Amino acid sequence: MKKSLLLVMTLVLSITLAACGGNNTTNNGTNNGTPNNSQGSTNTGGNNTPETEPPAAELEGQILAVGSSAMAPLVEEAANKFMDENGKVTVLVQAGGSGTGLTQVSEGQSDIGNSDIFAEEKFVDDEAPKAAELVDHQIAVVAMAAVVNPEVGIDNLTQAQLLQIFKGEVTNWSEVGGIDQEIVIVNRPSSSGTRKTFESYALGEASPDLPGQIQEESSGNVRKLIGETPGAIGYLALSYLDDSITALSYDGIEPTEENVTNGEYPIWAYQHMYTKGEPSELVQAFLDFMLSDEVQTNDVVELGYIPASAMTIVRDVEGNVTQK
């Protein structure tokens, strides 16, 4: 008797609890944005302009940005500066992966979804309509290079050679002009945005997972493994390059910031901050701040990214490049 009662109670409770979860966080940001908006519009025609003139001081509320863990340090740095300037604003940055960020912004649980990959590439098939609802804000560019263990003895690979290596068709460095040493691939998991970028712009097609291949998510560990393992090859963002590894030229073009911005070196990706629909005033102010010189010329560069403003070309989801 008592046991069954307990069971029923727990079931009822768990269902009600499950039902009321979620959807609490967004309202803070958007709600606080709107009153400011209306106040601004009523005052534009009025006389008491001096009091409401400085718009920056009026910002108030909370912004939640969830997503790519690689982007988190950059957004956090910018968020701290933004909060220093706007005392009533709280910006929370959470790292949970690009997929999590896109899911949460699409479900309205967060205001901004950070992603190192286009939403269209994550939301596929049945989920495609979700990508259409999201508005893309490209805040920086991250360039990558194929890197090898220094003892391999090469400094350039063509697109065809890279593809052969990552498909497992070439298994010894001597076949591509290096020493006689077996090739060890240090790849990323198939869900990784870094791997998607590398496959799309360096290999030209998706590469299969190979038996015996090492897969690591963290760039620090990838660098450590490539530096230590004889015959290792992998790929890293330019900010991770150091003396323990050799960065390869791609089709003869060196991976430098200049070659990326003028469009010669193709292995790079945008860092996206997605909002669901057009952002509220508060979120827009933060996104504008991300694109302001203060962030773009300081934090973006310091953390190894290339400012979005420095790019002389634009690339869309399909990879079509146009001059700015």
- Residue closer to another protein (CB basis): 86 or 103: 103
Q: What CA–CA distance (Å, rounded) separates 314 from 321?
A: 6
Nearest to 62, CA basis, from 99, 39, 89: 89
Min dist. Cβ of residue 205 to another protein (A): 12
Q: Give the nearer residue to another protein in terms of CB position, either 37 or 244.
A: 244
Q: How far is the CB of 246 from another protein (least distance, A)?
A: 18
Nearer to another protein by Cβ, of 74 and 185: the residue is 185
Interface with another protein (CB under 8 A): 6, 9-11, 13-14, 17-18, 69, 96-100, 102-103, 106-107, 122-124, 127, 130, 184, 189-193, 206, 208-217, 221, 224-225, 228-229, 232
- Give least dist CB 1 to another protein, A: 16
Strand 112-115 relative to strand 61-67, pairing: parallel
**Which CB, 185 or 285, lies closer to another protein?**
185
Tokens 């102010």 -> residue: 285
Find the shortest distance in angstroms from Cβ 171 to another protein. 14
Distance (Å, rounded) from C-alpha 299 to C-alpha 284? Answer: 19
Specify whether the CB–CB gap between 103 and 131 falls below 8 A: no
CB of 211 to another protein, least distance (A): 4
Sign of CA dihedral 119, 123, 125, 131: negative
Question: To the nearest whole angstrom, how small is the minimum distance from the Cβ of residue 197 to another protein?
Answer: 13
DSSP β-ladder status, 61-67 and 89-95: parallel
Q: Are 214 and 185 in contact (CB under 8 A)?
A: yes
Question: Based on CB atoms, which residue is closest to another protein, 214 or 253?
Answer: 214
Which residues share a beta bridge with 63? 91
Please identify, using beta-carbon distances, which residue of 73 and 96 lies nearer to another protein: 96
User: Nearest CA to 169 among 226, 210, 212?
Assistant: 210
